[in-house]
Amino acid sequence: MSLSRYQASMVLAGVGDSMGYFHGKWEFNFQTEKIHKELYELTNGEGIKALHLKGKDWLVSDDTVMMMATAIALLSLTKKREKIKKEKFSINQMKKKMKMKIQKEKSNKESNKEPNKESNQKSNKELNKESNKNQIKNQIKNQIKNQIKNQIKNQIKNQIKNQIKNQIKNQIKNQIKNQIKNQIKNQIKNQIKNQIKNQIKNQIKESNKESNQKSNQKSNQKSNQKSNQKSNQHSNQKSNQQNFDYLPINKNLYVNIAREYVRSFGNMRGRSPGLKSKASLKRIATLPGKYWCIIPFDSKAGGCGAAMRATPIGLAFPNLETQIEKLISISIESGRITHHHPSGYLGALAAALFTSYAINDIPIYEWGRKLINEIIPKAKEYLEKSGREVEKNLLTMEYFIRIWKTYLEERNLLEGEIGFEKINWPKKYHEDHKIRDNWIKSVSYSGWGGSSGHDSTLIAWDCLLAAQSDWENLCLRFLCGGDSDSIGVLAGAWYGAVYGFDENVPKLNYEDLEYFDKLMEIGSDLFDLSQKQF
């Protein structure tokens, strides 16, 4: 566990995302061979080592933006804020300045009061005459000066008074106008609200009348509907209650995660954000913060949007003995904020867990077996405690488990003594892109491998198992005919957490990456966070 590996995990996740995305050209290209051909054309045949990911030319996608949002929310646990530098002047400095001014004024007065040496040579009579003349002159001068001063003062006073009066008048006018406008707006709003309420009430009344008329004909259906409604209401009430006793950490963290996800959508231009995340966050954005858990179970919410952003959770909670419950809860609930389906949020759990395994130097080939045998049972227990549509979640999570178990059995990674040298790879799997593309499609929902939570994590892990410490090999593997930016963001995060910025990673790939400095800073802050107990 080291600072550089934390920073590398964040930065290389961004690299994998940027590379796999390539402004959508490679993310939505379903043929590995074509992607690799374009790569070598771009780099004059040199490949990954010559690929310069420079700022806006290689934008990161929504994956990195939302990954940073997860990290920023986690850092709220330490109340870490940017320091605002302000110049401060002490009282002593101010006093010194005032003294300097006073001394200058005194010296100027003294220089103006030097005696006239020539007057001492004159007679007393001449002195008296001259003094009288001077007195008269001075009196006249002073009178004229005073008159002019008074006139100027009066003019200035009158001008200031008029300006103040006009300002006050304008302020009062504007206040009155704004008050009237606000009153009118509020009246209109209230009228519209009342109209809508009345319309809804009338619709409800009419529907109740219709249902009462049909109640005798459909008594059996009605009883079934009532029982379903009660169970749904019960589960929804549980999720929205103020009582969050099942959470192993303060609920404000989950509120902050939802808030940061909503904010991140202000930075999605040109980044191809996921439709499910967009729809869920649009709904959450209109509600108070406590409704982070408002999104219900959704059979179509198994996408990779939850997994791609979850790796910082594993960096923040690396202590697998004391923090595993927190890691499970935060990864699942951060996923359910937008993707309330096991394929979605269990992908987030796998992404966070594997990052924690990487930081703890647990062998890469052990990760999948430990996920299925040790962590999934704990995840089931947590889902039961949470009380949120438990039956639906437990039934549908079997698909995630089945896909992963099948892979582990095929690769000889589920039981017995395992290791890199004992992995059972299909014939020509590493040489023939078509064989690998077919496998990627086989583990996906609809043919687009890596676009879901279960397969994005599985394919990214498969890339790392095959490439190990060979960065170029890893990149060529996640640049595949699947959702390459989401596979890349996960593979890059895990590689960085295991190997750091080792000699195999060309600096051209990351030093000019968009958000490089911010990702480095977040990695450093997450390392500091990991040293504290929560």
The set of residues, in sequence order, having a beta carbon less than 8 Å from that of 2 and lying 6+ positions away, is 500
Report d(CA 285, CA 307) in Å as an integer. Answer: 21
- Over residues 318-369, the pLDDT tens digits come to 999 999 999 999 999 999 999 999 999 999 999 999 999 999 999 999 999 9
Tokens of 359: 């930081």
Average pLDDT taken over every residue of the chain: 84
pLDDT bucket at 467, cuts 50 / 70 / 90? very high
Mean pLDDT of 36-62: 96
Binding-site residues for Mg(2+), please?
Answer: 483, 485-486
Report d(CA 23, CA 21) in Å as an integer. Answer: 5
Binding-site residues, please?
Answer: 483, 485-486
Residues facing 452 on adjacent strands:
303
pLDDT bucket at 226, cuts 50 / 70 / 90? very low
DSSP 8-state symbol, 286? T
Report d(CA 532, CA 103) in Å as an integer. Answer: 57
Predicted pLDDT of residue 440: 94
pLDDT bucket at 202, cuts 50 / 70 / 90? low
With a threshold of 0.75, does the pTM exceed it? Answer: no
- The 3-state DSSP class for residue 414 equals coil
Q: Which fold has domain 3-77+246-530?
A: ADP-ribosylglycohydrolase fold (1.10.4080)
Instruction: Tell which wins on pLDDT, 105 or 398.
Output: 398
Mean pLDDT of 462-470: 98
- Over residues 274-295, the pLDDT tens digits come to 999 999 999 998 886 668 899 9
Instruction: Tell which wins on pLDDT, 415 or 179.
Output: 415
Torsion angle, alpha carbons of 268, 274, 275, 281, to 10: -70
Question: Does residue 112 carry a pLDDT above 60?
Answer: no
Question: Does residue 130 carry a pLDDT above 60?
Answer: yes
Report d(CA 243, CA 224) in Å as an integer. Answer: 29
Question: Does residue 114 carry a pLDDT above 50?
Answer: no
